[in-house]
Amino acid sequence: MAIVRAFNGIRPVEDLASKIAALPYDVMSSEEAREMVEGDPYSFLHVDKAEIDLDPSIDIHDNRVYEKARENLDKKIFDKELIQDEKPCLYIYRQIMNGRSQTGLVFCASIDDYINNKIKKHEFTRADKEKDRINHVDYCDANTGPIFLTYKEDNVASEVIMDWTKKKPVYDFISADGIGHVVWVIDNEIIVSEIAELFKDVKNFYIADGHHRSASAVKVGLKKRAANPNYTGDEEFNYFLAVAFPDNDLMVMDYNRVVKDLNGLSKVELMKKLEEKFIVTESSTQVKPSKRHTFGMFVEDKWYLLEIKEGIYNQNDPIESLDVAILQNNILTPILGIEDVRTSDRIDFIGGIRGLSELERRVHKDMKIAFSMYPTEISDIMSVADIGEVMPPKSTWFEPKLRSGLFVHKLS
């Protein structure tokens, strides 16, 4: 049973929604964020990456950054750029990209569902990244960006949600990157209760993106519980901001790899080693894999198609049979000598939204070899999470990215 809780959302006034909505804090550097908001006082990056309003010499984890985030959030509320709904609501958030749409429910998820693994994870988190968001949530006393969840589409809640989208939305705009954003407010108490009840039939939510944000939100909630030993469980700090999309709405893009060198090998030696486990075919065009267990490779200005031979990996193992694992276990580690992709400075990762030409550009600029991947599927993520395991690093790239600033959940 998954808990879906309505909340008094803090959100932009209608005419400022398109100006306030911003990409997530973790898809850009501080430098890039400074450039993006130059001359723009409205962007929510002033809250989510508040270092952009301080001297660049200040460390991004300095307490002054979190104090500035709180100050900027409070100012947006004081200036009535952001307003708070008077009663608990649910929200519908639709994104449209290249004619394809995904429609999700915005609500508050339970930290107990996270702790009890009713909200399933598929990634490890890093302590330093957790600490950053813990401080941000704690100082702001708010969840400022939703956790991206998914669920198996096997209930009728979506019918009720889609029926509500026949009404006029509160926001409907296209962001600078061409993505459409549409939001509806569900303020009818009967419909809110009906949706919450229907979601009790959903056995689990799965984190699609936002593992660090969710872990941090939960730890802030636990911290506040410790500070309030007589808590009832109904306080807002027992919940965190989330948006859940049905699995059949989502698209996972390829997450490609570039490597700085050939680990001391010549191209001839590289090819010889590859041919032990792969069928290697030269291509006259860019190789974008069209099926699982095939890879594109760009090296010395030539593209190749790599097809894994039979019997090389365990087809029945949900992790070993992932393309990212096949690449790691048969090329990156044994041939190119990259043991840990999380820590190695010889490898970089490029989201499929950038296209294959970006792989060529990086190889010409600062890398030696690139691999294009077939996208991981939502069912893969769920299968791995269901057995309590984690995906290999950098397995998924979701598009479009959820915008921050459209919904804020205060913890007290």
pLDDT band for 344, please (50, 70, 90 cuts): very high
User: Within a domain: residue 283?
Assistant: yes
Asked if pLDDT for residue 157 goes beyond 90, the answer is no
Three-state secondary structure call for residue 157: helix
Let me know whether 112 and 197 are in one domain. Answer: yes
Q: Do 407 and 241 form a contact (C-beta atoms < 8 A)?
A: yes
State residue 127's pLDDT score: 87
Give me the residue label for tokens 């690449």: 327
Could you give the CA distance from residue 316 to residue 314 in angstroms, rounded to a whole number?
Answer: 5
pLDDT at residue 322 in the model = 95
Residues 63 and 171 placed together within one structural domain of the fold: yes
d(CA 338, CA 341): 6
224 shares its domain with 318: no
- Does 239 have pLDDT greater than 90? yes
State mean pLDDT over 279-307. Answer: 98
Sequential DSSP letters for 276-343: TTEEEEEESS-----STTEEEEEETTEEEEEEEPTTSS-TT-TTTTSHHHHHIIIIITTTT----TTT
| pLDDT > 70? residue 399 | yes
For range 192-219, the mean pLDDT: 94
pLDDT tens-digit series, residues 98-150: 999 999 999 999 999 999 999 999 888 888 889 999 999 999 999 999 999 99
In terms of residues, how long is the chain?
A: 412
Closest CA to 233 of 372, 380, 130, 108: 108
Two structure tokens written together for 162: 């889609």
Measured N-to-C along each axis, helices 63-78 and 127-140 cross at an angle, to the nearest 10 degrees, of 40
Given this model, what pLDDT does residue 251 score? 87
- Cβ–Cβ < 8 Å for 97, 17: no
**Host domain of residue 293:** 255-374
Mean of the pLDDT values across residues 346-369?
Answer: 96
Q: Give the pLDDT mean for 69-81.
A: 98
Three-class DSSP category at 121: coil
In 3D space, the residue among 341, 334, 282 whose CA is nearest the CA of residue 312 turns out to be 334
Q: Which residues 6+ apart lie within 8 Å of 139 measured at CB?
A: 63, 66, 67, 69, 70
Phi, psi of 49 (to 5 degrees): -135, 65
* CATH label of the domain that carries residue 270: 3.30.1760
SS3 111: helix
Q: What is the pLDDT of residue 155?
A: 65
What is the arithmetic mean of pLDDT over 404-408?
98
Indicate the helix (H) or strand (E) that contains 224. Answer: helix 211-227
Q: Which secondary structure element, helix H or strand E, spans residue 370, and what is its range?
A: strand 369-372
Q: Are 213 and 147 in contact (CB under 8 A)?
A: yes
Residue linked to tokens 């939510």: 205
Q: What's the pLDDT band for 71 if we cut at 50, 70, 90?
A: very high
Instruction: For residue 21, count other CB atoms closer than 10 A to its CB.
Output: 22
Whole-angstrom CA distances from 49 to 9, 31, 89 are 21, 10, 27
Domain shared by 326 and 341, yes or no: yes
Query: Same domain, yes or no, for 14 and 54?
Result: yes
Residues 292 and 201 in one domain: no
Which pLDDT score is estimated for 385? 93
Structure tokens at 340: 């840990």
Please report whether residue 381 resides in a domain: no
pLDDT tens digit string along 41-64?
Answer: 999 999 999 999 999 999 999 999
Q: Number of folded domains in the chain?
A: 2
Q: Is residue 390 part of a domain?
A: no
